[in-house]
Amino acid sequence: MIVFAAEGAHVTAAKGVLDKIEGVILFPLMSLMMSVALLMFLWGMYEYVLHADEDESRTQGKMHMLYGIIGLLIMISAYGILKIAAGTFGITDGLI
């Protein structure tokens, strides 16, 4: 939650809007994207192990695992950047 020096009606309304965006849109979307990246990685592992004797399928499994890892790294980095920005601006309630 944002802390302002002088709290008026418009400041309270702005805090409410930011809390809604944070709680309803931002964090569920980040969780969904991390889940998709994890599922992509697991699907690539499944393909790699299931088709261990086929070179083309193994290569496709490797690529899916790579895409999953890249997606996870991007989402973890985005979460870290968001946490740093929230700490800088004093928005810390939703990130704990």
**Could you tell me if residue 30 is inside a domain?**
yes
**Could you tell me if residue 63 is inside a domain?**
yes
**Could you tell me if residue 25 is inside a domain?**
yes
Please tell me whether residue 2 adopts helix, strand or coil conformation: coil
Instruction: Please classify residue 26 by burial: count the beta carbons closer than 10 Å to its beta carbon, then call 0-12 exposed, 13-18 middle and 19+ buried.
Output: middle
Per residue in 27-50, pLDDT (tens digit) is 788 889 999 999 999 999 999 999
Copy the structure tokens of residue 50.
Answer: 């299931």
Domain count, the chain: 1
Place of tokens 């950047």: 81
**Could you tell me if residue 4 is inside a domain?**
no
Domain extent, residue 82, equals 9-89
pTM recorded for the entire structure: 0.70
**Could you tell me if residue 46 is inside a domain?**
yes
Place of tokens 């973890």: 76
**Could you tell me if residue 3 is inside a domain?**
no
Whole-number percent of the chain with pLDDT over 70: 74
